[in-house]
């Protein structure tokens, strides 16, 4: 087993799942010679964002398979193997450099991998604001300007 210092950036195993009829994972996959496969732009509120992918992440494994040395087409095949779920072992560019400088291969066997899924990546829910017991509007609306459309609607009634 490889001994990894506690301050080393941990690779992330991101679990990306499509929900409610989503058709895309919501990120771009890029490849560059010498850099391998990496994550391009991640769309806001997408399965990729909810699953923990970050723009610029380097990809080292897809669905349990190392992709080191694989061509772009093969990586796309691995991602599409399950149309609704994908697991990706990723790390930031800076993190990847640390492992390279210390001759440590980024694999699924590393002891410090952080698992990221939609359940532990979603922001905590915020409870709805409580209304005063006398049913009056909240203070934030006391001084809210009235728009013309609101005025017109109230006059038509």
- Please report whether residue 149 resides in a domain: no
**Domain enclosing residue 51, as ranges:** 12-121
Which long-range CB contacts under 8 A does 34-37 form with residues at least 24 apart?
36/60, 36/67, 36/68, 37/67, 37/70, 37/72, 37/75
CB burial readout 125-138, b (16+ within 10 A) else e: eeeeeeeeeeeeee
- Please report whether residue 111 resides in a domain: yes
Question: Quick one: pLDDT at residue 6?
Answer: 84
The pair of three-digit structure tokens given for residue 52, joined into one six-digit string: 């923990």
Q: What is the pLDDT of residues 20-57, one digit of tens each?
A: 889 999 999 999 888 899 999 999 999 999 999 999 99
> For the chain, what's the residue count?
157
- Please report whether residue 4 resides in a domain: no
Q: What is the pLDDT of residues 72-82, one digit of tens each?
A: 999 999 999 99
85 close to 17: Cβ distance less than 8 angstroms: yes
Q: Mean of the per-residue pLDDT values for the chain? A: 82
- Please report whether residue 7 resides in a domain: no
Q: How confident is residue 125, by pLDDT bands cut at 50, 70 and 90? A: very low
- Please report whether residue 157 resides in a domain: no
Q: How confident is residue 88, by pLDDT bands cut at 50, 70 and 90? A: very high
- Please report whether residue 3 resides in a domain: no
- Please report whether residue 22 resides in a domain: yes
What is d(CA 120, CA 114) in angstroms, rounded to the nearest whole number? Answer: 11
* CATH code at position 109: 2.30.42.10
Q: What is the pLDDT of residues 2-20, one digit of tens each?
A: 788 888 999 999 999 999 8
Residues 6+ apart with CB under 8 A from 61: 67, 87, 88, 89, 107, 108
Counting the structural domains of the chain, the total is 1
pTM: 0.74
- Please report whether residue 148 resides in a domain: no
111 close to 4: Cβ distance less than 8 angstroms: yes
């Amino acid at each position: 087993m490889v001994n990894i210092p506690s301050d080393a950036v941990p690779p992330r195993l991101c679990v990306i799942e499509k929900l409610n009829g989503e058709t895309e994972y919501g990120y771009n996959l890029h490849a560059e010679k010498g850099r391998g496969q990496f994550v391009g732009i991640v769309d806001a509120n997408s399965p990729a964002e909810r699953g923990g992918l970050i723009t610029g992440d380097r990809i080292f494994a897809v669905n349990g398979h190392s992709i080191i040395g694989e061509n772009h087409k093969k990586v796309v095949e691995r991602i599409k193997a399950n149309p609704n779920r994908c697991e990706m072992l990723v790390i930031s560019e800076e993190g990847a450099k640390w492992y390279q400088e210390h001759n440590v291969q980024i694999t699924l066997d590393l002891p410090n991998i952080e698992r990221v899924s939609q359940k532990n990546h979603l922001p905590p829910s915020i409870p709805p604001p409580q209304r005063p017991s006398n049913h009056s509007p909240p203070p934030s609306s006391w001084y809210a300007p009235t728009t013309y459309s609101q005025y017109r609607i109230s006059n038509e009634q």
